[in-house]
């Protein structure tokens, strides 16, 4: 990903949680800032989170 660029629709971010589960965050939509948030220059993101639990 380019430094200083925002996240885009369709991007997928994955991480391992502190409980050793796999979490996948998919960006399903990016909408212009509603000017209601703390940062007026950032878009709002619509996401779907999927969590796979560890068998440990």
The whole domain housing 21 covers 12-52
- Report how many domains make up the chain: 1
Count of helices and strands (H, E) across the chain: 0, 3
Average pLDDT over every residue of 22-51: 85
The verdict on residue 5 lying in a domain is: no
Domain for residue 6, yes or no?
Answer: no
Please compute the mean of the pLDDT values over residues 30-41 and round it to a whole number: 71
pLDDT tens digits, 12-35: 999 999 999 999 999 999 988 766
Confidence band of 1 (pLDDT split at 50, 70, 90):
very low
Strand partners, 9: none
Produce one character per residue of 15-49: b if its CB has 16 or more CB atoms within 10 Å, e if not: eeeeeeeeeebebeebeeeeeeeeeeeeeebeeee
Which residue, 27, 32, 53, 56, is CA-closest to 43?
32
Q: Specify if 1 maps to a domain.
A: no
In a domain, 19, yes or no: yes
**Global pTM?**
0.74
Domain assignment of residue 37, yes or no: yes
């Amino acid at each position: 990903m380019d430094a200083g660029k925002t996240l885009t629709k369709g991007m997928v971010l994955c991480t391992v949680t502190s409980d050793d589960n796999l979490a996948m965050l998919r960006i399903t939509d990016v909408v212009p800032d509603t000017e209601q948030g703390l940062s007026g220059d950032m878009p709002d993101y619509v996401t779907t989170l999927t969590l796979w639990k560890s068998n440990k």
